[in-house]
């Protein structure tokens, strides 16, 4: 007797095979039969031709803090995600001593787009070490399966305290980090994550700790993966980190390397393709690298109170640590504005914002007729410089004006090429982070709806593969990511004719009633994790501790 049989579905096996009409049976937490199912079942569901695929593996999330107060990890499960990898970019909350909690939270506020207040009220600190954090997650259970990176910035803060954001580490400190990393890997961390990106700053503009690491530190830490015998290295790459250095690390450690964040910039349109081609060439030499790309346009909502869009600019640094009147005075300063203009006029290998003022829109403002129009257009009409226009408008409205900037990945021809590139991995949802700026937790539904149905850039079978067995393979996630007898029953039932993510909405459900952006699922008819159908309160997810990578 099966526990569940889904009959008459369009089966997408996650391995890229042509879609085939058939049934699927589940016993306990595993898939029992795929194809033609005979025999009785406790529950039977007629799929009526809807598509059935393995649940989405979201390999780039930041639920490390949220999961401690929200094991439902909203909104990912309803968007078809059944496994989430947390702790990307090195931004983890373990290990952490009680005296360093404030420090770790302050580092996270900027990059995670959550206020310090939310983190203070929300995080449950029932742990100090990574093994203790893993045990806590295992006890509390989550809606989806979770795998956890050991994050560089947390390791650094644990060993160096406040100095972690200020200087290179000594040989002794590097050895202490390495011991902690090995402990984490042995307890079941999925790998080691870090960031060298200038866009990653903590509160007051201090760089995230990992950005202070020199090549020796990275080399020593990545080599721990070889000693541990499993795990991968993930980094969000700043422009100064050379691909040849990453290939060396891949060669020395013999472990897979995930290179993020490869986003397309219209002002430097070939840069990401150079990176992807370099990765493909390294792989031809026997390495295992993959380029993390996004299938979503990177659009960010922001106010000048927390302008993540600009904070990676060198010329913005003098404003980063300022608050209140001093900050406003800086935004008024002509010299400051000229500096920003000059920097934006210079070419850059990678830059979040590239002075495309026609792609910056006013979303909420008291100024008549300004909403929904671009800053470029409004500035031309007013005979003003666009940077001046934006800053003056914001200053006039106590920095409450809400803008939205379409920053990267807006050239769909180019993004389609990236998605099809043999060295790319569909990634970068950043779910759980940047909560007030954007929400791409529905990236998988966007791939299936927009890129498959609306643009025909990928086949349904290939898109399903890129969301399931491919990331499971790269990350060494076992027995998931394919519709195969014996594999775990992580399933997504959807309508290919309507699947998509809904428009973004602002909701106020963070601790203390703080806002975040979210998006609803369209065309999703059921999500199962380990054979259990998600209904909003179910917590069938497992903590994943054993990997094959």
Nearer to Zn ion, 88 or 157 (CB): 88
Sheet holding 360-364: strands in order across? 298-302, 402-408, 360-364
Using the rule CB under 5 A, give the single segment among 82-90, 138-146, 383-391, 499-507 that binds Zn ion.
82-90
Q: Does 89 bind Zn ion (CB under 5 A)?
A: yes
The residue among 50 and 190 lying less far from Zn ion, judged by its C-beta, is 190
- Rounded Cα gap, residues 120 and 69, in angstroms: 11
Compare residues 200 and 264 and give the one whose CB is closer to Zn ion. Answer: 200
Q: Which of 336, 328, 326, 318 minimizes the C-alpha distance to 398? A: 328
In 389-513, beta strands by DSSP E: 402-408, 424-426, 491-494, 500-510
Q: Are 265 and 408 in contact (CB under 8 A)?
A: yes
- Reduce the secondary structure of 25-40 to three states and give it as a string: EEECCEEEEEECCCCC
Which among 87-95, 159-167, 207-215, 220-228 is the span making contact with Zn ion, rule CB under 5 A?
Answer: 87-95
Options 61, 66, 88, 110; binder of Zn ion; rule CB under 5 A: 88
Q: Among residues 149 and 357, whose Cβ is nearest to Zn ion?
A: 149
The answer, yes or no, to whether the previous bond of 75 is cis (omega within 30 of 0) is yes
* Residue 210 binds Zn ion, judged by CB under 5 A: no
Exposure string for 93-115, b = 16+ CB within 10 A, e = fewer? bbbbeeebeebbbbbbbbbbbbb
Residue from 213, 193, 198 nearest 256 by CA:
193
37-45, 67-75, 88-96, 443-451 -> range binding Zn ion (CB under 5 A): 88-96
Smallest distance from the beta carbon of 92 to Zn ion, in angstroms? Answer: 11
Which stretch in 89-97, 351-359, 435-443, 505-513 sits in contact with Zn ion by CB under 5 A? 89-97
The DSSP symbol for 358 reads G
Question: How many residues sit in the footprint of Zn ion (CB under 5 A)?
Answer: 2
Shortest Å distance, C-beta 421 to Zn ion: 20
111 binds Zn ion (CB under 5 A): no
Nearer to Zn ion, 66 or 88 (CB): 88
Q: Which is nearer to Zn ion, 41 or 153 (CB)?
A: 153
Q: Which residue has the closest beta carbon to Zn ion?
A: 89
Which CB sits closer to Zn ion, 88 or 196?
88
Q: Which residues are paired to 61 by β-bridges? A: 431
262 binds Zn ion (CB under 5 A): no
Nearest C-alpha neighbor of 296 from the set 94, 122, 440 = 440
Task: List interacting residues with Zn ion (CB under 5 A).
Answer: 88-89
């Amino acid at each position: 007797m099966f526990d569940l049989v889904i009959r008459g579905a369009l089966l997408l096996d996650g391995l890229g095979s042509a879609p085939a009409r058939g049934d699927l049976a589940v016993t306990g937490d595993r898939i029992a039969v795929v194809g033609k199912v005979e025999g009785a079942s406790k529950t039977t569901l007629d799929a009526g031709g809807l598509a059935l695929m393995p649940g989405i593996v979201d390999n780039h999330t930041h639920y490390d803090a949220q999961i401690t107060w929200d094991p439902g990890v909203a909104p990912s499960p309803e968007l078809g995600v059944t496994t989430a990898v947390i702790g990307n970019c090195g931004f983890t909350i373990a290990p952490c001593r009680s005296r360093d909690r404030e420090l770790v939270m302050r580092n996270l506020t900027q990059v995670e787009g959550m206020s310090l207040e939310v983190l203070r009220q929300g995080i449950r600190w029932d742990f100090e070490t990574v093994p203790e954090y893993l045990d806590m997650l295992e006890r509390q259970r989550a809606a989806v399966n979770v795998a956890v990176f050991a994050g560089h910035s947390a390791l650094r803060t644990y060993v160096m305290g406040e100095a972690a954001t200020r200087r290179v580490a000594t040989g002794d400190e590097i050895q202490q980090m390495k011991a902690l990393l090995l402990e984490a890997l042995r307890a079941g961390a999925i790998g080691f994550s870090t960031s060298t990106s200038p866009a990653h700053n903590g509160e007051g503009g201090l760089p995230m700790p990992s950005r202070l690491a020199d090549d020796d530190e990275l080399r020593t830490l990545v080599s721990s993966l070889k000693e541990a015998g499993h795990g991968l290295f993930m980094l969000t790459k700043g422009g100064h980190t050379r691909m040849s250095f990453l290939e060396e690390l891949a060669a020395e450690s013999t472990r897979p390397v995930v290179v993020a964040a490869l986003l397309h910039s219209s002002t430097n349109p070939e840069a990401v393709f150079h990176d992807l081609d370099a990765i493909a060439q390294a792989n031809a030499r026997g390495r295992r690298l993959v380029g993390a790309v996004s299938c979503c346009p990177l659009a960010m909502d922001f106010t000048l109170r927390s302008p993540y869009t600009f904070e990676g600019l060198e010329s913005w640094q003098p404003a980063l640590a300022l608050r209140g009147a001093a900050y406003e005075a800086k935004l008024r300063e002509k010299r400051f504005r000229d500096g920003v203009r000059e920097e934006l006029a210079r070419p850059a290998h990678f830059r979040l914002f590239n002075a495309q003022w026609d792609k910056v829109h006013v979303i909420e403002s008291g100024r008549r007729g300004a909403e929904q129009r671009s800053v470029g257009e409004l500035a031309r009409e007013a005979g003003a410089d666009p940077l001046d226009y934006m800053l003056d408008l914001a200053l006039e409205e106590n920095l409450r004006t809400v803008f939205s900037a379409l920053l990267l990945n807006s050239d769909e021809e180019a993004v389609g090429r990236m998605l099809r590139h043999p060295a790319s991995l569909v990634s970068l949802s950043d779910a759980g982070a940047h909560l007030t700026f954007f929400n791409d937790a529905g990236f998988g539904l966007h791939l299936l709806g927009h890129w498959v149905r609306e643009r025909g850039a990928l086949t349904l079978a290939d898109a399903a593969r890129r969301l399931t067995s491919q990331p499971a393979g790269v990350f060494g996630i076992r027995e998931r990511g394919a519709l195969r007898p014996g594999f775990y029953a992580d399933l997504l039932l959807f309508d290919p004719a309507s699947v998509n993510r809904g428009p973004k909405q602002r909701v106020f459900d963070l601790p203390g009633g703080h806002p975040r952006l979210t998006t609803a699922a369209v065309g999703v008819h059921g999500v199962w994790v380990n054979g259990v159908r998600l209904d909003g309160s179910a917590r069938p997810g497992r903590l994943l501790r054993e990997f094959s990578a």
